């Protein structure tokens, strides 16, 4: 009798069952269908572990990014940002007076914001720093460009990076049984929004993914 060893020691999926092997969303981040933030032309963000780039064929916009290490720097970002900071109140010493503002795009350099103390009610200037807002929005994680594969459903927003990502979501949607194999909560499937995990939304998810698959074929 020949005993075959599963190379990664994980059980193979059974027919009709979906097996979450624990891979993260980043598996799909090497090719991302986006729209240019300036002229709306469809394009692709392509990346390796060392570098990422976007070249618009409509307006010749060019965005570049490194691997995210301190030597490469942070790279270009055209997506939503947050300016935030905190300080002790200059009048009553209350800790903390905090200030935060979100913008769809980093437009001008915001260095300070005025915020009211929750204790004495007087306002102070607070130094703020900029951070990129990735969140769970329908934007690419490298430059913050709007994703192309976005579908608003009755239950919630569906988005995907590329055809492999769509296929993975489709496999998930059509499987009546879902299993996890030694999976942490960093897995892409465990982080799906709740509406996608509900059994009653399986058909809705499947149809919505199929609409996006058709749209991607048409746009190529
Ligand atoms: Zn463009
Ligand atoms: Zn105060």
Q: How far apart are CA 22 and CA 173, in angstroms?
A: 17
pLDDT in tens, 1-60: 455 544 455 556 667 788 888 888 889 999 999 999 999 999 999 988 788 999 999 999
Domain ranges, ordered by start, for the chain: 17-77+138-219, 81-132
DSSP string, 110-136: --EEEEE-TTT--EEEEE-EEEE--TT
**Are 35 and 148 spatial neighbours (Cβ–Cβ below 8 Å)?**
yes
Instruction: State the distance from the centre of ligand 1 to the C-alpha of 143, rounded, in angstroms.
Output: 14
Instruction: Give the ligand whose atoms come closest to the C-alpha of residue 34.
Output: 1
Ion ligand 1: residue ranges with CB closer than 5 A: 36, 38-39, 41, 56, 58-59, 61
CA 125 to ligand 2 center in whole angstroms: 12
Instruction: Note the pLDDT tens digit of each residue in 127-156.
Output: 999 888 887 789 999 999 999 999 999 999
Ligand 1 geometric centre to CA of 54 (Å): 10
């Amino acid at each position: 009798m020949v005993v075959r060893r599963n190379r990664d020691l994980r059980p193979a999926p059974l027919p009709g069952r979906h097996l979450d092997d624990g891979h993260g969303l980043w598996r799909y981040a090497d090719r991302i269908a986006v729209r240019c933030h300036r002229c709306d032309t469809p394009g692709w963000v392509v990346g390796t572990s060392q570098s990422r780039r976007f070249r618009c064929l409509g307006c010749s916009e060019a965005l570049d990014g490194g691997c995210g290490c301190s030597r490469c720097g942070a790279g270009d970002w055209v997506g939503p940002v947050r300016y935030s900071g905190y300080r002790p109140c200059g009048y009553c010493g209350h800790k903390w007076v905090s200030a935060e503002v979100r913008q769809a795009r980093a437009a001008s350099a915001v260095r300070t914001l005025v915020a009211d103390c929750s204790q004495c009610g007087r306002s102070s200037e607070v130094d703020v720093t900029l951070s990129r807002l990735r969140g769970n929005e329908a934007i690419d994680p490298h430059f913050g460009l709007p994703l192309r594969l976005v579908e608003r459903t009755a239950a919630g927003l569906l988005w995907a990076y590329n055809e492999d990502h769509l296929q993975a979501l489709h496999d998930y949607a059509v499987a009546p049984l879902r299993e996890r194999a030694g999976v942490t909560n960093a897995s892409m499937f465990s982080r799906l929004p709740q509406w996608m995990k509900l059994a009653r939304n399986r058909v809705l998810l499947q149809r919505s993914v199929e609409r996006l698959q058709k749209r991607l074929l048409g746009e190529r």
